C-alpha cells in the first residue's frame, strides 16, 4: 500500500466527471488499498479516486465512529465502485463538511438526510442500500467528487468566496 498525493483546489482534474470502472482486477484492488491508506494518513473519512488523480468512479469511506478500549478508532473501510444515488429523501440535514482537497476549510452544507445507493464491490458484485446520517452525507459528498462537484458548490457565492479566501491565506502563511 502507498500513500498517494491528494489533489487540491484549484486543480482542474477535480472538475472532471469520472469514468466508470470496467475491470475488477488487481489494479483496482491496489487502487482501493492505496486510497484507503491515503484517507487514513490524511485523517479523512472519505476519498474519491479523482482526489488522487485517478479518473475512475471509485470511492472509499470509513466513518471510524466506533472506538476500542484504548479509545482508538476501529477501522472498517468500505469501497464503493461505480456508485450511484437512486433516491433521496425530502428531509434535509445540515452537516459541517470539510474536504481533503480543500484542506482545513469547513462549511455547513444542506443535503438530503437519507439516500438509496447502488454500487459494486471490488469483485464486481452489485449492492444496494439505504444510508442515513453521516454515512449519507459522506456518500453524497464523495459521489459529488465523481461528478466534478465540490462541497463549496453547495454554498452561496459569499460563503464559497470566504472559504477560498481562508484557504489562500492559510497557504500563504505555510
Residue 65, Ramachandran bin (φ over 0: left; ψ between -120 and 50: alpha; else beta): alpha
Q: Report the alpha-carbon distance of residue 20 to residue 76 in Å, rounded.
A: 24
In this prediction the pTM is 0.95
- Which of 8, 104, 128, 142 is an active site residue? 142
Helix (H, G, I), strand (E, B) or coil at 136: helix
Q: What is the mean pLDDT of residues 13-33?
A: 98
Pairing of strands 78-88, 92-99: unpaired
| 142 carries an active-site annotation | yes
pLDDT grade, residue 104 (50/70/90)?
very high
Output the pLDDT for position 65.
79
Output the pLDDT for position 141.
98
Domains defined along the chain, listed by start: 12-173 (3.90.45.10)
- Is residue 36 within 8 A of residue 77, CB to CB? The reply is yes
Query: Does an H or E element contain 96, and which?
Result: strand 92-99
Amino acid at each position: 500500500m502507498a500513500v498517494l498525493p491528494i489533489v487540491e483546489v484549484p486543480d482542474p482534474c477535480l472538475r472532471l466527471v469520472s469514468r466508470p470502472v470496467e475491470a475488477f482486477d488487481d489494479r483496482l484492488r491496489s487502487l482501493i488499498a492505496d486510497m484507503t491508506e491515503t484517507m487514513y494518513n490524511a485523517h479523512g473519512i472519505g476519498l474519491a479516486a479523482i482526489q488522487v488523480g485517478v479518473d475512475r468512479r471509485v470511492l472509499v469511506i470509513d466513518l471510524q465512529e466506533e472506538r476500542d478500549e484504548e479509545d482508538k478508532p476501529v477501522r472498517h473501510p468500505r469501497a464503493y465502485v461505480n456508485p450511484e444515488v437512486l433516491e433521496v429523501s425530502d428531509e434535509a440535514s445540515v452537516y459541517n463538511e470539510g474536504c481533503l482537497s480543500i484542506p482545513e476549510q469547513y462549511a455547513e452544507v444542506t443535503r438530503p438526510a437519507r439516500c438509496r445507493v447502488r454500487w459494486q464491490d471490488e469483485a464486481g458484485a452489485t449492492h444496494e442500500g439505504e444510508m442515513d446520517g453521516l454515512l449519507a452525507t459522506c456518500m453524497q459528498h464523495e459521489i459529488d467528487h465523481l461528478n466534478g462537484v465540490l462541497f463549496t458548490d453547495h454554498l452561496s457565492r459569499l460563503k464559497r468566496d470566504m472559504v477560498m479566501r481562508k484557504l489562500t491565506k492559510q497557504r500563504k502563511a505555510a
